[in-house]
């Protein structure tokens, strides 16, 4: 099991790395060169700033039972097809059961923005959002660890 963090704009990088360090899970932070991120534990990979560079790096280097932290549903779909586990910065699990609905919603929202110039406002992150992420991330690690040890 390895952790990959799609770090551009991700508010839980430090939290995720701290948990990975505590659980002795190898962690890789993938960012573009416009972001300044460093870590004393995780490997930091810098990719080109072009669209989807971080996504392609993560997909090409991840494997079955790895954990991907991302808000990108396209990356999530590719990671799921490899047998990786996906969680968002808000602690939502993205699975084979909900990925189609999430991709359809993304497509619908994109059309609404393009057609009607309707944009949503991103809510300010609360302390409770970090707590939910931490609980769900630790639960996911526990679940995967059990799966690996029983197979």
For the residues of 10-22, what is the DSSP string, one character each?
-TTHHHHHHHHHH
Beta pairing, strands 26-32 & 67-69: unpaired
Instruction: Please give the Cα distance from 119 to 131 (Å, whole number).
Output: 28
Instruction: Please give the Cα distance from 98 to 56 (Å, whole number).
Output: 22
Tally the domains of the chain: 1
The answer to whether 68 and 46 have CB atoms below 8 angstroms apart is: no
Banded model confidence at residue 20, pLDDT cuts 50, 70, 90:
very high
Average pLDDT, the chain: 91
What is the structure's pLDDT at 112? 67
pLDDT digit string, tens, across residues 84-101: 999 999 999 999 999 878
Domain membership of residue 24 as a residue range = 2-150
What is the structure's pLDDT at 118? 64
Token digits of residue 15 = 């939290």
Whether the per-residue pLDDT at 127 is higher than 70: the answer is yes
Alpha carbon 87 to its chain centroid, in Å, reads 5
What does the chain come to in residues? Answer: 151
pLDDT digit string, tens, across residues 21-72: 999 999 999 999 888 999 999 999 999 988 889 999 999 999 999 999 999 9
Alpha carbon 69 to its chain centroid, in Å, reads 2
* Domain containing residue 85: CATH number: 3.40.50
Count of C-beta atoms within a 10 Å radius of residue 28: 21
What 84-89 contacts at long range (C-beta under 8 Å, 24+ apart), as own/partner pairs, is 84/4, 85/140, 85/144, 87/133, 87/136, 87/137, 87/140, 89/10, 89/11, 89/12, 89/133
Read off the pTM: 0.87
């Amino acid at each position: 099991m390895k952790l990959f963090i799609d770090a551009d704009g991700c508010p839980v990088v430090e939290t995720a790395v701290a948990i990975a360090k505590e659980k002795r899970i190898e962690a890789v932070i993938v960012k573009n060169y416009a972001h300044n991120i460093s870590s004393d534990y995780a490997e930091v990979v810098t990719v080109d700033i072009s669209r989807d560079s971080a996504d392609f790096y993560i997909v090409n280097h991840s494997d079955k039972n790895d954990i991907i932290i991302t808000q990108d549903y396209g990356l999530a779909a590719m990671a799921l097809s490899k047998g990786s586990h996906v969680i968002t910065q808000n602690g939502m699990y993205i699975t084979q059961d909900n990925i189609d609905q999430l991709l359809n919603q993304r497509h619908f929202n994109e059309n609404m923005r393009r057609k009607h110039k309707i944009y949503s406002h991103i809510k300010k992150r609360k302390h409770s959002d970090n707590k939910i992420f931490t609980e769900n991330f630790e639960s996911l690690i526990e679940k995967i660890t059990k799966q690996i040890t029983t197979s």
